[in-house]
């Protein structure tokens, strides 16, 4: 069928329209890199060539036992030290992954598409951005779907971060201090 590529391009790879409008409203520029669906960092490394100069990220949606929710954004190849994070957040309770239902309720996202951009839908979620991500010249995030990656300059990441009304914090997730 002659319209098949159009369907794939325009349905399969469609960015969240609310996110698209949000980025336009806040004059946030980006370069979009479309790709097959990826659900993990490992899949991304297998399917996608590295984009030179772009720090790729992973985003984890966590909660504590008191139902405080956190979106952790960090370098894709870094391992998250939950004990260090708990200490830095001054959390009294154990941190764990939130459920898919909680992810949908609080960020309007599904597993495999977790992204910093989910914060535009945030309901009682704190954004924790790793200092390494913050200090990068260029960073990449899914646009709330896992079929593309948006590349942002530090200037545009700052615009996005500053536009958020939610609680947010930049933390060094590698060092004790």
Alpha helices in 94-140 (DSSP H): 100-107, 131-134
Domain ranges of the chain: 4-171
pLDDT range class, residue 93, cuts 50, 70, 90: confident
What pTM value is reported for the model? 0.86
pLDDT of residue 5: 41
Q: How many CA atoms lie within 13 A of 122 on its CB side?
A: 23
pLDDT at 8: 42
Identify the CATH number of the domain defined by range 4-171.
3.90.960.10
**Cβ(32)–Cβ(23) under 8 Å?**
no
- Whether residue 4 is predicted with pLDDT greater than 70 in this model: the reply is no
Q: What is the pLDDT of residue 147?
A: 80
The encoded tokens of residue 60 equal 């984890």
| Region for 162 from its dihedrals, namely left if φ exceeds 0, alpha if ψ lies in -120 to 50, beta otherwise | alpha
Nearest to 142 by CA among 61, 21, 35: 35
- What is the predicted pLDDT for the residue at 46? 60
Q: Render 44-70 in DSSP notation, one character per residue.
A: HHHHS---TT-EEEEEEEEEETT--EE
Confidence bin at 91 (pLDDT 50/70/90):
confident
Residue 72 confidence class, pLDDT cut points 50, 70, 90: very high
């Amino acid at each position: 069928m002659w319209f098949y590529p159009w369907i794939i391009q325009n349905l399969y790879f469609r960015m969240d329209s609310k996110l698209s409008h949000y980025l336009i409203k806040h004059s946030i520029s980006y370069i979009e890199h479309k790709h097959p669906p990826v659900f993990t960092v490992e899949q991304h490394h297998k399917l996608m060539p590295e984009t030179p100069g772009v720090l790729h990220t992973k985003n984890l949606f966590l909660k504590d036992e008191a139902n405080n929710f956190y979106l952790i954004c960090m370098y894709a190849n870094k391992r998250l030290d939950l004990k260090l994070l708990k200490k830095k957040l001054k959390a009294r309770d154990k941190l764990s992954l939130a459920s898919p239902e909680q992810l949908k309720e609080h960020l309007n996202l599904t597993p495999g598409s977790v992204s910093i951009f989910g914060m535009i839908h945030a309901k009682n979620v704190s954004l924790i951005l790793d200092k390494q991500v913050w200090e990068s010249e260029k960073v990449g995030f899914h646009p709330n779907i896992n079929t593309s990656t948006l590349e942002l300059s530090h200037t545009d990441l700052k615009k996005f971060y500053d536009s958020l009304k939610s609680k947010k914090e930049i933390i060094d997730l590698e060092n004790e201090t």
